[in-house]
Amino acid sequence: MTSSTSQIGIGIIGGGYMGKAHSVAFAAVASVFDTALRPRLEMIAASSPETAEKYRATYGFARGTDDWRALVDDPKVEAVVIASPQSTHRDIALAAFAKGKPVLCEKPLGASLADSVAMYEAAVASGQPNMVGFNYIRTPASQYARQLLAENRIGDVIWFRGEMTEDFFADPSIGGWRAQGQSNGTMGDLAPHMINAAHALMGPIESLSASVETVHKTRAGAPVTNDDQAQMMCRFESGVQGHMFFSRVAMGRKMGYAYEIHGTKGHIRFDQEDQNALWLYTAEGPETERGFRKILAGPAHPDYLPFCQGPGHGTGYQDQIIIEAKDFLTAIAEKRDIWPSFKEGLEVNRVVAAVLDSSAKGAWVNTADY
């Protein structure tokens, strides 16, 4: 797949918000992490010849196209990154796997559970490395939280609370495409990130009871066809209880990817709005001296040192995408999947389907039934 110089041709479909983030990441990742594979920005696909040329020139690609099929078919494109709308994910992924190319797909994996099943099956059949773009779990602080849990630092976990809350749709006068279609609602757009975090920190979800609602029934004079917020109680396969809340109308919240984990010997707390800090409480020492410790991310934490040698100097959103690019290139070089692969993308969509059904039925459901 790769040339003797260990270069790999990258093709990115979509040049907007995430297309730019991935373009910047693949341009920088070899310098940051000294990866064995050195990305070559080969081709970018957009919705028109004009935008494709704009993105090509701006991001530094060799070529641009308004036909994603041309990108997937091109022999110089050796790995495909899908950063286009959810409704396009399935067709692109299946075409790329059919050509024997690794795929990194933005979350959520498919626009529906059926899409995700088809994409996962195609990935398995192809034998190609595959990954889903759940970037927030890759912060050094959240990676360290997973390490603390693996080391049993807070004892046996007894409860988990997670949220994914933003306020970009809090104003009901704002309408447009985000107000239409189930996959563009909060459960399709925001919730997958926190469900993925819950899987990473706590393991699979066994059962749940959920309530999903549309707060603003109309926007800009048009009816809304998807959800604004949702909550769910859940029980993990480990037996631990949990609660999660998702919202795009949570006034004041900008990047409310947050969680807290209660254990028999301590407590972990994190908020993405302060992504370089992890709060840890341990039941050690005299009661008069106990309290949460604010741990600032630094070179001792996972994937931090390649960016900066200074503790507390911090990493940012773009750095998460660079870490993601590093993981994808490693998966290709070592011919293996690195979590979160398409299997995790499918499991997240399975939980989303269970939440929607539970809300409709007003009952507890088992995720294995979906």
Q: What is the pLDDT along the chain (370 residues), one digit of tens a residue?
A: 444 459 999 999 999 999 999 999 999 999 999 999 999 999 999 999 999 999 999 999 999 999 999 999 999 999 999 999 999 999 999 999 999 999 999 999 999 999 999 999 999 999 999 999 999 999 999 999 999 999 999 999 999 999 999 999 999 999 999 999 999 999 999 999 999 999 999 999 999 999 999 999 999 999 999 999 999 999 999 999 999 999 999 999 999 999 999 999 999 999 999 999 999 999 999 999 999 999 999 999 999 999 999 999 999 999 999 999 999 999 999 999 999 999 999 999 999 999 999 999 999 999 999 9
Does 367 reside within a domain?
no
Q: What is the pLDDT of residue 1?
A: 44
Q: CA dihedral in degrees (266, 269, 275, 278; nearest 10)? A: -20
75, 92: one domain: yes
User: pTM for the complete prediction?
Assistant: 0.96
184, 251: one domain: yes
Does 89 reside within a domain?
yes
123, 159: one domain: no
Alpha carbon distance 194, 318 (integer Å): 19
Tokens of 145: 């939280």
Q: What is the pLDDT of residue 268?
A: 98
76, 202: one domain: no
Range of the domain at 203: 137-337+348-361
Does 2 reside within a domain?
no
125, 227: one domain: no
Domain boundary among 88, 120, 135: 135
Q: What is the pLDDT of residue 3?
A: 42
Does 296 reside within a domain?
yes
Q: What is the pLDDT of residue 5?
A: 52
188, 200: one domain: yes
Does 263 reside within a domain?
yes
Does 216 reside within a domain?
yes
